[in-house]
Structure 1
Amino acid sequence: MDQSQRARSPRDTARELADLASAVVRALADRRELSFTAAATLARLEREGPARLTALAVAEGVSQPSMTQLVQRLEAQGLVLRVGDPDDGRATLVGVTEAGRDVLAARREARDTRLAELLTTLPEEDRQALGTAIRTALPLVRRMLGDDAVPPRPLPGPHTTGSLR
């Protein structure tokens, strides 16, 4: 019995899933316009709503000074905007702009097109098996990420210092 036919332990499968995720991210990352961290930060803001710099830094696993520099670059590109925090007038939140949403949408479209092209090189049976595996793994990965937790926060109201739309 060769290695592909033997029973896989959960640890083997976990390692292979992590290797696969890492390889897919590396293969599909378009770093010409935005770094991975910049794109991840924009996507987080789109998904979760405006956030404080400190919370963004923690969520993305970077230092606060690094996140400050990243937000300044994204702000200069018109992709994010700082707005007043309606819960604390002394604080500001960072939110994604429509231009930021457009950049994310274009990146996702390019990624999906690239993946779809690659998938056409597989036999139909393999594409079906991959689809089944993904539908099985996706809920587990979402649970791991906590994506089933908090819904996106609404945009700030009257204390806004700029428009996110």
Structure 2
Amino acid sequence: MPGSGKSTVGVLLAKRLGLGFIDTDLLIQEQAGRTLQDIVDQDGYEALRHLEEQVLLKLDVRHKVISTGGSAVYSARAMEHLRSSGTLVFLDIPLELVIERIGDHSMRGISRRPDQSLAALFEERFALYSRYADLTVKGEGLSQDEVCEAVVSAL
């Protein structure tokens, strides 16, 4: 989910482990030449999901920490590709904390159906994140450094 700390904790983790870091949201924007929100607004949420899948399937995932966009879990192929050379980590935070961290999410480029509430999206994705995760780290009440340490300890 947006606001879970994927990008920030990912950078900290990559530094701690001496690995490369990739933020797929940035790769998608670079490939498309526009923001995630522009993609959703102009082409729809399914287009963003498709682009994310394409970007993920092209990645060399060895020796890297990868911060995926939140909709990566909608692609079984992409998730298996990520799992092929690494450990899938779910940074689990409650919906209330997601809302607190992201504030007005209308411009975040979140891939969701137009009629879908953030709460419904959270519930839907939680089930998918839980299914694919090799490791779940609860982030509520922890600083980003503490979440990083929790991931390192669990690995």
Higher radius of gyration, 1 or 2? 1
Note whether the superposition's TM-score is higher than 0.5.
no
For normalisation by structure 2, the TM-score amounts to 0.26
Greater RCO (Cα-Cα under 8 Å, separation 6 or more): 2
